Amino acid sequence: MRQIYLDYNASTPIAPEVRQVMLPLLENDFGNPSALHKFGRNAKRAVEYSRTQMADLICANPEELIFTSGGTESNNHALKGVYDHYKDQGNHIITTSIEHPAVIEPCRYLSQQGAKITYVRVDEYGRVDPDEIEQAITEDTILISVMHSNNEVGTIQPIKEIGKLAKERGILFHTDASQSLGKVEIDVDDLHVDLLTFAGHKLYAPKGIGALYIREGVKLSNFMHGAGHERGLRAGTENVIFAAALGEACRLAKVNLHQNEEIKQLRDYFWGELKEYFQEKISLNGHPDHRLPNTLNINMIGRIGQEVLAQLSQVAASTGSACHAGEVTLSPVLSEMGVSEEEGMGAIRFSLGKYTIKEEIDYVLEHMKRI
C-alpha cells in the first residue's frame, strides 16, 4: 500500500488547482511586477488578484495584506514591527506559554532589546483564559499575541473574547492563524484582530510564501529596507508565482470550507474506534470541542510514540515527545498542559486533510491494533 499521509498540520501537498495557476507564470508572465510593459503588468495583475483572494478569506481589504516568505517571517514582522514602532508608548507584550517557536523566539529576542514579556499559562486542554490575559495587562502593554489554534493539539483559543478585550483597552492584537486558515471560518472584524499571520504550506500552497494582515491604521517598522514594495514594509521584488499560488489556495479554502465537516467526521470516527479498542490505554490531548476539525493528538499510555510510529512505517504522522538515550522529553506544549510523562511519552499527532480517505484510516486502525 502507498504511504499514508496524516501530517497535514506540518505541511500540505500543493493542490492541483494551485499548481495550474502557477504554470503560466513560470512559462509566460515572468516579468517584474514593477515594470510598466506588458510582462510586468501581467505579473502585477497576478499579485494583486491574489491579494484580493486572501482578503476575501478573512473578510479584510486587499490593501491590508502584505506578502512574506511564510508564517515565521509574518510573526517576526508583527512582533518586532509593533515593538519598534510603539516602544515609546510602552514595552510590554503578552503572549501564551504554548506559542509556536516563531512567536516564542522573537519574544525572547525582544526581551533582550528591553521588552517585558508575559507568558500566560494554559489549562489542561491547552486553552488560555481571557481573564488571565486581562490580569496580565499593564499600562505599558502595547501588544497581545495569541495563536488562533495550536499546531500540536489543535485547541482553538478564545480569540474573539481576547480581541474584544484588547480593543477596549486600546492594545494591538496579533494572532498566528497559520494552522486555522482553511479549516475554520475567520473574520478579522468579528475577531477584533489587528494583525494576522498566513502560511502557504499549511493551506495547500508551496512552502516559502505567506502573508501578514495589518489592519488599516496600524503602524509597523519596515522588515526589509530597499525599494517601496509591499507598502514600503517589505522591500524586494514580489514572488509572483508563489503569491498567485497562495491566492488560489485561499480561494479554494473559502469555497471548500464546508468540507471540513467531513474531515471532522472522519477524525471522530478514527478517535471513536481507537477509544473503543484501547479504552483506558489511550487518552486525548487538546480540547474535546474547541479543536481544529482535522487534528487528533492522542497518548498511547505505556508506549513511546516514536516506537509506535516506527512500526507504522507506511504512515506519516508526528510525535509529541522526543526519546534520547532512553529518556523521554515531552514537547513544551504537552508539558505546559500538565500532561504526565507516563501519558505524554506515547503522544502521537494525526492530522487529516482534504485528501484523506476512510480506507487509509481503517488501514492505520488495523495496524495500530496489531502492534
Residues annotated as catalytic are 323
Q: What DSSP line would sit under 17-67, residue for residue?
A: HHHHHHHHHHHT--S-TT--SHHHHHHHHHHHHHHHHHHHHHT--GGGEEE
Q: Left (φ > 0), alpha (ψ -120 to 50) or beta: where does 302 sit? A: left
Kindly give the pairing relationship between strand 92-96 and strand 116-120.
Answer: parallel
- Cα four-point dihedral sign 332, 338, 339, 341: positive
CA 186 centroid distance within chain:
13
Closest CA to 96 of 170, 149, 164, 37: 149
Residue 143 has which C-alpha cell?
Answer: 501588544
Residue 332's SS3 state is: helix
Q: Cα(first)–Cα(last) distance of the chain, in Å?
A: 18
Please report, for residues 26, 42, 354, the alpha-carbon distance to residue 21 in angstroms, rounded to integers and kept in the order given. Answer: 10, 13, 19
What is the spatial distance between Cα 57 and Cα 251, in angstroms, rounded to a whole number? 7
